[in-house]
A = this chain, B = another copy of it.
Amino acid sequence: MTNAAAVRPGRGRRPAADVRDAVLDAAGAMLLETGMRGFTFEKVAARAGVSKMTLYKWWPSPGALAFDAYFAATADELAFDDTHDIERDLIAQMQAFVAFLTSRDTAVIAELIGVAQTDSDLAAAFTDRYTLPRRALAVERLRKAQNAGQIRPDADLESIVDQLWGACYHRLMLPGRPLTPDLAETVVRNLLNGVGPS
């Protein structure tokens, strides 16, 4: 990747990494404000102060940019702690996740997932650029805990992801009960300790 895309006449060069960050910031903010409606290369380019050509060089579609930006927007907020105590770290992670979901207009996030169900290009971008990388980060932290003897050696780590994050998405997308902060601790304790008789 050269930084030729970042040359702007009369204003000198911006390093490519800076340009990319500016685009992701602008795209992430737009996405979390308004969802995919009106999310276009044109609007993102204007907001980031770059040319549309720059975006076309780096991203094959608005969906690909949107979910790269979504992943970037969550990266700091949803970073995985590693205090060597998986219960504590998972509770912190789920609290951050519930806070992330509920501190925004939750309808926007539900809608992002919703529109991905009826648009296969968007679904592929969402899976490749958000779901799979987030899942990999979660499994990586769980594997460390498993190696440290804090999770049973025979436990299937992928299904743990579904039973923690999936529980929160379930309340968001099929809202039979409200998504509240206390759910974070409850789902972690349920799953680590089991809900069967002790």
Contact = CB atoms under 8 A, between A and B. Distances in A.
Interface of A: 87, 107, 110-111, 113-118, 123, 126-127, 131-132, 134-135, 149-152, 155-156, 158-171, 173-177, 183, 186-187, 190-198
A159 B173 contact: no
A30 B46 CA distance: 45
Contact of A196 (B115, B192, B196): B192
Counting every copy of the chain, the complex holds 2
Contacts of A149: 197
Contact of A111 (B110, B117, B132): B117
A174 B123 CA distance: 8
The 4 closest A-B pairs by CB, nearest first: A166-B170, A194-B194, A114-B117, A162-B167
A116 B113 contact: no
25 contacts: A111-B117, A111-B118, A113-B173, A114-B115, A114-B116, A126-B174, A127-B174, A127-B175, A127-B176, A135-B176, A135-B177, A155-B190, A155-B195, A156-B190, A158-B177, A159-B183, A159-B190, A161-B170, A162-B187, A163-B187, A163-B191, A166-B166, A169-B169, A173-B173, A190-B191
